[in-house]
Amino acid sequence: MSEPKVILRRCETADPARIRAIIAECFEELQFQPRGRTLIKPNVVTANRQYIHHSHTHPAVTEALAHHLKTRPEVSQITIGESSGFGIPPGLFMHEAGYDALARRLKVRLVDFNEDRATWVDLKKAVAQKGFHVPRSILEADTKIWVPKLKYHICCELTNALKLNIGILQHRDRMAVHDNRLNDKIVDMLEIGYPDCVVTDAIHIGHGFESAPQGFHLGLLLVSNNPLAADAVAGSALGYKPEEIVHLRIARDRGYGSIDLNDIRITGDYPLDEIISKTKGLTSEYQDILAVDTPIKFYCGDAPEHEPENAPSPNCSPSVRRESDSENFCYGGCLAAVKGCLGTIDKRRPGSVARARPGAVVTGIYKGDVIHPGQTAFLIGDCSRVDGRLEAKRVIRLTGCPIGASKLLIKMPSVFKMPSPMSDARSAVQFIYFTLRHALRKLVLKIIPG
């Protein structure tokens, strides 16, 4: 295996010509030679032309990479593949982010992994997600290039190369063990989703809820031959010590490589110290829900005990403790969905969460009292309960493990009197169109032998 190397390059704007030149230089420096069927995996978790602009890899970065690959005779086929956010019909976010228009223009394959044929694969080293339906475009790729968007994350510190692998899961497998085992799940995915190269779009990074973030101009492209090295440096750029990023620690402990910056060769024209000084003081709202400006009070509890063979690894809990000190704290399930719901509502209509109707939200098994006379207590998730006194005018339950984001986006605004993103007429029409399109495509896959 070649020496882990991370190249940090200045890139002020999303100019495809400039990005293409940087990519060509970086590939040469890394001596990286893509060949055969080459899969580009961007992050297109969400997009909305009206109010979500920094959640996804800028199409200009993907375009520049595809253009570069087209100049290489060893590359026989270029595919752009992604499984966008759960609960929304496949294709909708790719359309909103401009990826379908991009693929048509470049004449490259664009695949939503949910509409790809897939083969079940058992993962040999997995701790949490013991297998999944692997899309054919991933299984058959000779070269994998991951093109993440660098963002702070509400419960996993950052999302970059490793976290990008949640987007290789078809929706039917997406939410399995997406609870207090999320950090383990991310590392499990590396067995299939180990990229040959990483090209990170950090021209604008995201902070706040990562699927509806605020943008912050950093002017950086990060290119690496190693996903752990890429994430260790990207995490440092955001102000973390690599050790504080739980999924990196787990990946290191499972033998995927070092996350020590001394073991990584860092080059380029944008010094890491300068990058760190730019992000210094930047906070990412919703990493700590107790700090959110709102009259809603949050009671964040544990997941139920798992059987030993399904339990999270001991170092799976977040190291940067926020809402709970418990080892079994369920950071990655219903609580993450609540954060996402509020973050989306607030991004669409700023100030809505601060003006919400007062009440209580309980996720997981909360040990303590929840006293809200005259208000509503909203218990979210299959396991949600209060091990203590529960007093409220009204108690509402919503089930799921974890709760579905779209289910929550329908109910939560009505309980706490906030404007609902689900009421956008444009989004509703798109939702119906892409649901029908997906059903048709699934039908075609079923009747035409693969």
Binding residues for ligand SF4 (CB under 6 A): 179, 303, 330, 333-334, 363-364, 381-383, 401-402
The nearer residue to ligand SF4, 102 or 386, going by C-beta atoms, is: 386
- DSSP calls for 368-388: S-EEEEEEEEEEEEEEEEEES
* Residue closest to 207 by CA, chosen among 85, 347, 338, 75: 347
State the burial class of residue 381 (Cβ atoms within 10 Å of its Cβ: 0-12, 13-18, 19+).
buried
Please tell me the distance from the alpha carbon of residue 291 to that of residue 366, in angstroms, as a whole number: 18
CB of 375 to ligand SF4, least distance (A): 21
The nearer residue to ligand SF4, 27 or 86, going by C-beta atoms, is: 86
The nearer residue to ligand SF4, 96 or 179, going by C-beta atoms, is: 179
Chain residue at closest Cβ approach to ligand SF4:
333
CB of 396 to ligand SF4, least distance (A): 15
H or E element that contains 42: strand 36-42
CB of 190 to ligand SF4, least distance (A): 23
CB of 84 to ligand SF4, least distance (A): 21
The nearer residue to ligand SF4, 239 or 333, going by C-beta atoms, is: 333
The nearer residue to ligand SF4, 25 or 382, going by C-beta atoms, is: 382
- DSSP calls for 326-377: -TTB--SSHHHHHHHHHHHHHHHSTTTTTTSPPEEEEEEEEES-EEEEEEEE
H or E element that contains 65: helix 59-70
Is the torsion defined by CA of 25, 30, 31, 32 positive or negative?
negative
The nearer residue to ligand SF4, 179 or 346, going by C-beta atoms, is: 179
From residue 398, how far is each of 299, 308, 344, 434 by CA, in Å? 15, 28, 19, 26
The nearer residue to ligand SF4, 209 or 270, going by C-beta atoms, is: 209
Please tell me the distance from the alpha carbon of residue 235 to that of residue 395, in angstroms, as a whole number: 40
DSSP lists the bridge partners of residue 37 as 77
CB of 321 to ligand SF4, least distance (A): 17
Longest CA span, the chain: 70
The nearer residue to ligand SF4, 115 or 184, going by C-beta atoms, is: 184
CB of 176 to ligand SF4, least distance (A): 11
CB of 68 to ligand SF4, least distance (A): 41
CB of 331 to ligand SF4, least distance (A): 9
Is the torsion defined by CA of 326, 162, 30, 20 positive or negative?
negative
